[in-house]
Structure 1
């Protein structure tokens, strides 16, 4: 079974990166796929949002060689989770001086078998941990708000991906851009989307993630929005995204 390893990246915080990792993963799981969510962010928002932030062992222990990734996996609502922790800050510092520092996660994931998808929630920065994710992944998914400043950030992401392709991972591809927190009532949102559609070559998914209060509430209950309120617009949008995504998988 081929495992699709997907790095979900955006160098800014609060852009829907963790929300997309969790809810796309949940939607893929409910469509019959076996999904691993990997929390590589020292802020551990993914782990907190799924109520696994008090796990006994985390990705920091795996990077230190004290545990294997299979040792730390937690099952929750049909998903498998590799929890993160604030200790990843220390891991990032220690990786800077290591030889082949960009390949640690790639070697860790070689131990993972039987999953259809591994979705990596990357730190909100273009850091050594993000570099590890991009080196380990086959695909990149970019959640993007329709704001003027996000266009500048998108250029930085594209440049980083091209550098990783050239130096470490020639097979890495940008799967596409996911429009998140979309408010159809705002003229600016529509204008930025139209500009984006006319100026970037990368795929922009048709399935847009609308502003939705249930998406904001779900982490307080330790659930994906699909488990919190399956009838909400947030759940419907991520189901549509998962279906569109799967249609692109060979």
Structure 2
């Protein structure tokens, strides 16, 4: 059993795409998968063509148990989200156990799954802290660009703070390079800089630019199901293999 947050406070880094396609690739290996959307934009549910219904917001409001909001697609259980998470985040600020709300909800069901993947919001907010506190591991999808390094510093600092404040042992499993164009020298330069200056693994796997990954949500599918022979699908399948090896 592994609970993994997919996190980067910068938008447009492929968190939802990574959560969805890593989950789908793992499910095709026969792994039991739970996906949880903690982003108020609700892109994870949209990308899988989920029906309208109760979401993680209803769980936070105490209206539903988490099992009541689960939908199933591509052999995965999915907990969708919606825009109400914005207001819920504000209401959590004054609660003494505000960091523990998600953890309290999923602790009873996470053991049923081989992998629980949490699609974090694009900010280091209370909802992101909830996601990280509920997790054991972190995967950071990251553009291999200079401006991404500042965001990496912030993520590492946040994880260190959570570990110290709550006596956690949350670990960064690794950085996943996304939207990679192998023709760009800058990608390799940023990768080399990270290797030289940070004690963080960069996965051997990386995700190439591919139009099929952008098309797939329009059909309510992961790219692994929509176009299994595309570069993106092959890359996520390789990434799933690497995650399984690291969690043995």
Please state which band the TM-score falls in when normalised by the shorter chain.
Answer: over 0.9
Select 1:127's aligned residue among 125, 140, 161. 125
Deviations 1:199-250 (A, max 9, x none): 2211110011111111111111110001100000101000000001100113
1:177-198 Cα distance to aligned partner (Å, 9 max, x none): 1111111111212221222222
Of stretches 187-196 and 175-184 in structure 1, the one that deviates more from structure 2 is: 187-196
Spell out the pairing of 1:200-211 with structure 2 (5 A cutoff).
200-211=198-209
Q: 101, 104, 123: which is aligned to 2:101?
A: 104
Unaligned runs of 5+ residues in structure 1 are none
Q: CA RMSD in A?
A: 1.0
Aligned to 1:245: 243
- 1:28-75 Cα distance to aligned partner (Å, 9 max, x none): 1111101011000001111111111x4310000001111011001000
Is the contact between residue 10 and residue 142 of structure 1 (CA under 8 Å) also seen in structure 2? yes
Q: Residue 153 of structure 2: which of 147, 151, 155 is its match?
A: 155
Q: Which residue of 1 aligns with 2:2?
A: 4
Q: Deviations over 1:128-176 (max 9, x none)?
A: 0000011110001100101110011100000000000111252211111
- The answer on 1:80 being equivalent to 2:63 is no
Q: How does 1:25-174 map to 2 (within 5 A)?
A: 25-52=23-50, 54-112=51-109, 113-174=111-172
Q: Where has structure 1 moved over 3 Å in runs of 4 or more?
A: none
Q: How far apart, CA to CA, are the structure 2 residues paired with 1:152 and 1:142? A: 13
Gaps of 5+ in 2: none
Matched residues in 2 for 1:200 and 1:23: separation?
27
* TM-score scaled by length of structure 1: 0.96
Distance 1:157 1:218, change over 3 A: same
The TM-score with structure 2 as length reference comes to: 0.97
**Partner Cα distance (2:67, 2:54) in 1:** 11
State how many pairs are aligned. Answer: 247
Partners in 1 of 2:163 and 2:136 — Cα distance? Answer: 10
C-alpha contact 1:70 1:111 (8 A) present in aligned 2: no
* CA pair 169-63 structure 1, distance change in 2 beyond 3 A: farther
Three-state SS of the structure 2 residue aligned to 1:226 is helix
Whether the aligned pair in 2 keeps the contact of 1:135 and 1:169 (CA below 8 Å) is no
The reply to whether residue 15 of structure 1 matches residue 13 of structure 2 is yes
